[in-house]
Structure 1
Amino acid sequence: MSSATARPVIIDTDGGVDDAAALWWALTDPGIDLIAVTAVDGVVPAAIAARNVLKVLAAAGRSNIPVGVGGGPRLGPVPKLRSTDFIHGADGLGDTTTGESASTPKLEAADGLLYRLCAARPGVVSVVSIGPLTNLARTVERHPDWAGQVRELIAMAGSAREGGNALPAGESNVASDPVAAAMVVAAGWTNPPLMIGLDVTHAATLTQSEFDLLAQHRTHAARFLDAPLRFYRTYGSTFTAPQCPCHDLLAVMALSTPDLIVEAPLLPLAIDTSQGPGWGATIVDFRALAFAKLSGAQQQRPEGFHDWRIAMRVDVSQFRRGLRGLLGA
């Protein structure tokens, strides 16, 4: 349960296995007050993602937390991507039967919930995006003042130097709706958002030690996550084998553990929406670091770039310690 000083947070999720781990962290971290969860189309359709969220909330005894569901088409053209059911399972949770109910009740629209809760407390609520950025982009589109009301945005999205996973240069959450990602990058955020991309999520991995602890079912979180994470490990580890990333968990942990991300320079960021070979890429202008060291070396910034903090190094030992705590170490 959250403490009186906990930070109010909304998580936007596409209902996958690593999303479930991220939700469990938010629900058990005393520094986070999870005030809502919104579901977006991604590894599973938004309605199934919402159902998975409800399963986690029920298992954690927190069914009182409001859940919103996204809807409608992507914000622009999208590349043809392979289904991720071989990674997350057709149900998004490793084809496990964890939790209750096969149906999703009628829930509030995601963009309405995001806007309403942030507008009620401007500059107070943080948002963590751990799925495609469609819900956030739709909220920006319908409520242009929303971004300025968010205290902080952390997005598990993109890749600065690691390359892509869904496309040669495109990370999955960005490649799933590149135009939405571009809209979110360009929105008028009060503080520069933090991009948690593959550069750090491919470093912050689970080892066999974490999986051995997971199997002991010492906590409710471990009991829930054991089967889904074992399913996910097979192909979710494609780029990191034999270790396993847990992308979305790192993004939520970074919110309440500021020193977890060791290096996150402020750099110009843009999204490639060109429908060419770089479609879905997050383009980071690293030249800015060199320009900053030499007076007079600065060049004009290309159009479409906006300042974001780009996570480049993570304290892997601290990540694993935190995870082991969640699992009952």
Structure 2
Amino acid sequence: MTEERIRQVFAEAGAEVQLHAIPVRLRTTVAADAGAEKGAREVAVGADKPVVIASIFKVLMVLEFARQVVAGQLDPRERVRVTAADRLGGWGTAGCLDDVELSLRDLAHFAMSVSDNSAADLLLARVGLDTVRLLAEELGLDRTRIVGGPRDLLASMLAEVGARDEREFAVRYPALPDDRKRRLAVLDPRHTTASTPREITRLLHLIWSDAAGPPEACALVRDLMGRQVFRHRLVSGFPDDVTVAAKTGTLPGLHMEAGVVHYLDGECYAIAVFARTQDLTASRATVDAAIGKAAGIAVDFLRGNSDGR
């Protein structure tokens, strides 16, 4: 059974998995059930259980940005200065040593391509947290909750650990016992930005079928997801001639990616994979490889190759 094979792949990597994969049917409407119609082919492993989505929320945020641009509410060329106070550490502007200035659309580019947390925070402030929440509601993502941007999540972690700043957190956090680390709110879908694997594939289906907003807005999100530089998760599970547009998310013990794979025959498939390990390190190559392998197994099944890879 495909689902059992997927569970076994992650068991061998020392992780538990939740996954959903569906064919993408183009030119549908929001009213359609986004590939989950009765009798539709799918692969589902814990697909309706809540999951932490971490940086995958940026897909919804950038979609709202794109919709506002198309509606004329935002000028994508508007300039934004990223200062020391905005830096969170990590990729892109979040790790710059000096202040930088760039456009709103380049904030979106960095948020999606390298998961730049500072860029995401600044773009979210411009777009509006409440409007992102309303968009999730409009799209029927009833179990998706956005509690805030990356800085809000960091503030939550600092408060729980009793640290005044990131430097103090870096000292206090490693000294915590693992069971205390696992109880942090950012790792619990009941208390942080969360969704379900099924709702994430629904979001992707709506974007790829131009049903999540104006076609120009959906096209911009697809383009930006196609620019992601990380190639160690979903991409690793497919041949070189398969195009993958995706967004990663990572927190201690949580490894995830959601995206759409496009075959040369024109067929597309939306996949959302969420892995949880007992090991709280942020980088686990075996788990990342399992994400790609499981995605390949799921899509093989959807393409009619029931024996998988």
Q: With structure 2 as the length reference, what TM-score do the two structures score?
A: 0.24
The structure with higher relative contact order (CA 8 Å, sep 6+) is: 2
Identify the structure with the greater helix proportion: 2
Q: With structure 1 as the length reference, what TM-score do the two structures score?
A: 0.23
